């Protein structure tokens, strides 16, 4: 029995590159950086003062009474989901809303609310926390808020696997459709880590770059944190065709693995296993992949390990691949990164353009792939793979292809 084909019919996103998919993709093609000096948060004693901030959110009509129940990561997810639904032409019809659901990944949680309450109770002498603190903070809040805003009564839940959260969300959403639990799923990821406490915690890991993100470049100094959200409308091919939707790409398959080794230090074997599993699930040979959107964080260890893993999986095809890390432009948006990188992959397939790895200055013999340095490249992209490897050793890889 063949399983249902899953296709993508809508995309939405917000990050430091722009507040909709068109703006994000335009910036990616131009090799424009969204990384810069932090402006919207109190810096206090932070040593690292750069990041990928969304300077201004787009206008919206979300009711004020609902807004007070949302932390920033939920709001970003709701806005991105609305964009994806609009592009897909999806309407939630009475009596059919139980066939539409949502899965939203996040790497952290509603830290804005946590920090507000620490300040009010510990510093300002208030005797109780804000009444909506719990629903603002909980990692499943973005999925719930998306379902409430758009009237989705199907399977709705959150997933959290650090930087792999978006790809795990896409996989879980596709599974709901293939299992017959839904016809359509909104899926993606969101994170809003641009608050003092989170930045201070990441500083302690000593892996943040003091200026910008240069994945695969020999002089790379680490990752840069950013905020954002990305959402996609996934639906069965038959459902999309029946309603006359424009199909952007096919969600061909996914693969997952665990390093089971160290909470922060990655292995080669885990990422390689996830890539192999993804290709097998998608029914794609290494020779059919033209583009790999790398996890590409800009840390010395991660970039070297990912290069080695790609070479192990793709063999001779590794030298014919176009590889890039769009984190060099939108920064590392944690649980949202995979969703923003899905936008890059879908649009690369649609437009035949591979976005660049910007900031690249020096070749590193340990990162000897074609990383599309600094300038976008035109080439047909039949199929693309997007890698996500996370703290905890949780790896998730997705494959997309032209329809």
Nearest to 46 by CA among 242, 261, 197: 197
Backbone angles phi, psi at 59, to 5 degrees: -65, 150
Transcribe 311-329 into DSSP letters: HHHHGGGGGG-EEE-THHH
Q: What is the mean pLDDT of residues 366-385?
A: 98
Active site residue ranges: 163, 295, 332
Residue 1 scores a pLDDT above 70? no
234, 177 Cβ separation under 8 angstroms: yes
Count CA within 13 A, CB hemisphere, residue 4.
22
Residue 68 scores a pLDDT above 70? yes
Q: Within a 10 A sphere around the Cβ of 403, how many other Cβ atoms?
A: 14
**In order of start, what are the domains of the chain with their CATH numbers?**
6-242 (3.40.47.10), 253-401 (3.40.47.10)
Strand 322-324 and strand 50-51: the pairing is unpaired
Return the structure tokens found at 322.
Answer: 């176009």
pLDDT digits (tens, 9 = 90+) for 23-67: 999 999 999 999 999 998 888 899 999 999 999 999 999 999 999
32, 17 Cβ separation under 8 angstroms: yes
pLDDT digits (tens, 9 = 90+) for 97-141: 999 999 999 999 999 999 999 889 888 888 899 999 999 999 999
Q: What is the mean pLDDT of residues 12-28?
A: 98
Q: Please give the span between the terminal C-alpha atoms of the chain, in angstroms, as a whole number.
A: 21
Give 296's contacts (C-beta < 8 A, 6+ positions apart).
215, 216, 302, 303, 306, 324, 325, 326, 327, 328, 357, 371
Average pLDDT, the chain: 97
* Packing angle of the helix pair 72-88, 141-150 (nearest 10 deg): 40
DSSP structure class, residue 17 = T
Q: What is the mean pLDDT of residues 336-352?
A: 98
Q: What is the mean pLDDT of residues 292-317?
A: 98
pLDDT digits (tens, 9 = 90+) for 173-196: 999 999 999 999 999 999 999 999
- Indicate the helix (H) or strand (E) that contains 29: helix 21-30
Instruction: Tell me the C-alpha distance between 144 and 73, whole Å.
Output: 12
Q: What is the mean pLDDT of residues 198-222?
A: 97
Transcribe 56-78 into DSSP letters: SPPP----HHHHTT--HHHHHHH
Instruction: Look up the pTM and report it.
Output: 0.97
Q: What is the mean pLDDT of residues 201-223?
A: 97
Model confidence at 302, pLDDT cuts 50, 70, 90, reads: very high
170, 342 Cβ separation under 8 angstroms: yes
pLDDT at 95: 86
Model confidence at 217, pLDDT cuts 50, 70, 90, reads: very high
Q: What is the mean pLDDT of residues 85-92?
A: 96
Return the structure tokens found at 236.
Answer: 């069965």
């Amino acid at each position: 029995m063949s399983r249902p084909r899953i296709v993508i019919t809508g995309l939405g996103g917000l990050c430091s590159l722009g507040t909709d998919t068109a703006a994000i993709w335009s910036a990616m093609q131009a090799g424009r950086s969204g990384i810069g000096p932090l402006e919207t948060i109190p810096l206090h004693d932070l040593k690292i003062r750069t990041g990928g901030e969304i300077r201004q959110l787009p206008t919206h009509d979300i009711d004020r009474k609902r807004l007070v129940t949302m932390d920033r990561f939920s709001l970003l997810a709701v806005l991105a989901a609305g964009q994806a639904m609009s592009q897909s032409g999806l309407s939630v019809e009475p009596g059919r809303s139980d066939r539409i659901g949502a899965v939203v990944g996040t790497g952290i949680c509603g830290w804005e609310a946590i920090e507000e309450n620490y300040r009010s109770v510990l510093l300002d002498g208030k005797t109780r926390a804000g009444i909506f603190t719990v629903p603002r903070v909980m990692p499943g809040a973005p999925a719930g808020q998306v379902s409430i805003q758009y009237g989705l009564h199907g399977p709705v839940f959150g997933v959290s696997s650090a930087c792999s959260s978006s790809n795990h969300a896409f996989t879980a959403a596709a599974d709901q459709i293939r299992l017959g639990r839904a016809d359509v799923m909104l899926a993606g990821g969101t994170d809003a880590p641009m608050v003092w406490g989170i930045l201070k915690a990441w500083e302690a890991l000593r892996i943040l770059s003091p200026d910008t993100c240069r994945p695969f470049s020999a002089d790379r100094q680490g990752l840069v944190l950013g905020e954002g959200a990305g959402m996609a409308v996934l639906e069965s091919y038959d459902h999309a065709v029946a309603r006359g939707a424009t199909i952007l790409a096919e969600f061909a398959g996914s693969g997952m693995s665990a390093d089971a080794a160290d909470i922060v230090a990655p292995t080669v074997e885990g990422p390689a296993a996830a890539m192999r599993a993804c290709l097998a699930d998608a029914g794609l040979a290494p020779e059919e992949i033209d583009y790999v959107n790398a996890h590409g964080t800009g840390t010395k260890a991660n970039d070297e390990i990912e290069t080695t893993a790609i070479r192990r999986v793709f063999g001779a095809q590794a030298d014919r691949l176009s590889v890039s890390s769009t984190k060099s432009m939108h920064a590392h948006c944690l649980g949202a990164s995979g969703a923003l990188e899905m936008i890059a992959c879908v649009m690369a397939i649609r437009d035949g353009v591979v976005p660049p790895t910007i900031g690249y200055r020096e070749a590193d013999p340990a990162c000897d792939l074609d990383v599309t340095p600094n300038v976008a490249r035109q080439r047909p992209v039949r199929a693309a793979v997007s890698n996500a490897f996370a703290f905890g050793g949780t790896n998730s890889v997705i494959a997309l292809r032209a329809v």
